[in-house]
Amino acid sequence: MAAHLRYACLIGLLSLLPTLVLAEKPADTQALAGVETGKVAWDINMGDAKKLRLYLQVMAETYDDLKRQGVEPDMVFTFRGPSLPLISSEHADVPLDEIEHYEAVAEQIAALQQKPGVRMEACSIAARLFGVEAETLLPGIDFVGNTFVSQIGYQSKGYASIPIF
């Protein structure tokens, strides 16, 4: 009898699993009250392709979360420092076991660029420091003079600056 009871409980719990998996995400009601546009300037200064791959997934989810809650995303991705080699098409010096992460980063960037309200910039100072040629930047990434200046400008226009290190 005890085995039948355990089996019944297990079946009952398993029947709840689809509900738990499909449960709607909580809302950000207080934070987004009165907000029509989600203006963010991502300050990306990370040299690890595997970590950037994860963060890009979270940034895409942030975009989707804003949309889901009726807020129009207005996102600028500003790449600087060691992130420049990660957004280059030149991978001659990349270890073979890391190539998949570089390719995934490129795919995620291309997917993000398809979303309305997304722009991307790369810092020419960082490119010079890290030996990245402007023509090797992934398509759709604008080459700018200085992303510190970009961050100042975007913050002056009401964009939240979120550092990604």
Q: pLDDT tens digits, residue range 140-150?
A: 999 999 999 99
Confidence of residue 10 (pLDDT cuts 50, 70, 90): very low
pLDDT at 8 over 90: no
User: 40: Cβ–Cβ under 8 A, 6 or more apart, which residues?
Assistant: 62, 73, 74, 75, 76, 159, 160, 161, 162
What percent of the chain stands above pLDDT 90? Answer: 83
Domains of the chain and CATH, by start: 35-164 (3.40.1260.10)
Q: pLDDT tens digits, residue range 64-114?
A: 999 999 999 999 999 999 999 999 999 888 999 999 999 999 999 999 999
CB 108 within 8 A of CB 60: yes
- Lowest-pLDDT range of 2-11, 15-24, 62-71, 146-155: 2-11
**What values do phi and psi take at 137, rounded to 5?**
-65, 145
- Distance, CA of 157 to CA of 114 (rounded, Å): 23
